[in-house]
Amino acid sequence: METRGVWLPTTGSEVFKSRERIAEAMDFLAETGFNVVFPVVWTKALTLYPSQVMQQTFGVEIDPLFVGRDPLAEVIAEARRVGLKVIAWFEYGFASSYNLNGGMLLEKKPEWGARDRDGNLVNKNGFEWLNSLDPQVQNFMLNLVLEVVKNYDVDGIQGDDRLPALPSEGGYDHLTVQLYQQQFRKNPPRNPQDKQWLQWRANILTDFLAHLYQKVKAVNPNLLVSMAPNIHDWALKEYLQDSPKWLEQKIVDTIHPQIYRRDFLSYKSIIDQLVKKQFAVMSSRLAPGILMKLGNYSISAEYLMQAIEYNRDRGISGEVFFFYEGLRDNNNALAKVLQNNAYAQSASFPSLSDLSADNVSNSKLSSNWHNLLKFWRNIS
């Protein structure tokens, strides 16, 4: 059993342009030896399925490029036809826009914007952000996720480096500051990476993930909750993502840290750290994210094989590649390498029991989440 996955974005890809292209992509992936796809369902603050949550909240049912279609339903149908699992990828997470000053979401709900210590809308690497510490914003995201798992035959859902996340520069909005003041009798520090302030906000996002996990499992306990965060502890310092705590509290079933390094020795070094620390006793939950293509960069066939072989040497049963189009470059060169080598023999996708995802109570975390929600309602 191995996780052999690939992300399907809209940026830089033609897959979603028609049902025929989707069908062709699913055939190709199955023939290459893959067993799971991660199609994007939430990107650029728009859905790739008709969403009543978006319609009711923002008046936009689906990405205008796909009006009259349901790309998610098409991917599921074509993936099922060839035996692939489908995990819905909420790529945009708590981002609001990219270089659009908040875009449509904050134009309609400006109170949802994340604020830095100077009161400005949080912008990091070009992305503007929703305030993911706000229970109203959290409920919106939770409702998008639940809409998908209730209405579509997916095998699970996935967050990434934007879900759950918030740039550590955020959290200085009026209501979050009030909550902090109530608990600590002082203002938040001006240093956004102050250790205690950092951890306090990260804990709020961890509690949100616990709540989301519980709600998804209530719909169907067999659904997989998958996360693809940045690498710890950079992810904690920069985006309040405390993945070791997610694993400790068992509120994620499988995790795909984005080890997007462009040479094998750098990749190997990070794998060694992860296996030694975070995943010392739970390597079954780990299937690293590997950068296959980005801009003009493409992974070499040698590095590709080295990474997979080293994963197996370290007891890691799988990987997920970013992204699909990298398999198709140069007359499908990398796909042929996989098909003729590491993926020559078929492998089934791990079940929840294989991932050691024992059902544990998250009642304490859920209670914390509800206490936070109650406080926000009282002061807002």
User: What distance in Å separates the CA atoms of residue 229 and residue 365, rounded to the nearest whole number?
Assistant: 20
Question: Listing from the earlier edge strand, what are the strands of the sheet with 95-98?
Answer: 95-98, 127-129, 123-124
Determine the pLDDT at residue 354: 77
* Secondary structure (3-state) at 259: strand
Question: CA geometry: angle at 251 spanning 247 and 252, to 5°?
Answer: 70
Helix (H) or strand (E) holding 227: strand 224-227
pLDDT in tens, the chain (380 residues): 999 999 999 999 999 999 999 999 999 999 999 999 999 999 999 999 999 999 999 999 999 999 999 999 999 999 999 999 999 999 999 999 999 999 999 999 999 999 999 999 999 999 999 999 999 999 999 999 999 999 999 999 999 999 999 999 999 999 999 999 999 999 999 999 999 999 999 999 999 999 999 999 999 999 999 999 999 999 999 999 999 999 999 999 999 999 999 999 999 999 999 988 777 556 778 999 999 999 999 999 999 999 999 999 999 999 999 999 999 999 999 999 999 999 999 999 998 877 754 433 444 455 555 556 565 556 55
* Secondary structure (3-state) at 117: coil
Contacts of 39 (CB under 8 A, 6+ apart): 8, 16, 48, 71, 72, 75, 86, 88, 89
Determine the pLDDT at residue 277: 77
Residues in the chain: 380
User: What distance in Å separates the CA atoms of residue 113 and residue 252, rounded to the nearest whole number?
Assistant: 27
Nearest in space to 97 (alpha carbons), one of 161, 53, 134, 46: 46
User: What distance in Å separates the CA atoms of residue 276 and residue 342, rounded to the nearest whole number?
Assistant: 24
User: What distance in Å separates the CA atoms of residue 63 and residue 46, rounded to the nearest whole number?
Assistant: 5
- Are the C-beta atoms of residues 130 and 94 closer than 8 Å to each other? yes
User: What distance in Å separates the CA atoms of residue 303 and residue 268, rounded to the nearest whole number?
Assistant: 11
Q: Tally the C-alpha atoms within 13 A of residue 149's C-alpha that lie toward its C-beta.
A: 27
Q: Spell out the alpha helix ranges (H) of the chain.
A: 19-32, 52-58, 71-81, 103-108, 135-151, 174-184, 195-219, 234-239, 243-248, 264-276, 301-313, 325-340, 363-379
| β 224-227/293-294 pair status | unpaired
Written as six digits, the tokens of 158 are 């996935």
Long-range pairs for 358-364 at CB < 8 Å and ≥24 separation? Answer: 358/250, 359/217, 359/221, 360/249, 360/250, 362/210, 362/211, 362/213, 362/214, 362/249, 362/251
ω into 323 cis (within 30 of 0): yes
Residue tagged 């938040």 (tokens): 188
User: What distance in Å separates the CA atoms of residue 229 and residue 130, rounded to the nearest whole number?
Assistant: 18
Predicted TM-score (pTM) of this structure: 0.92
Determine the pLDDT at residue 361: 40
List 6's β-bridge partners, or say none.
Answer: 37, 321
Other Cβ atoms closer than 10 A to 22: 22
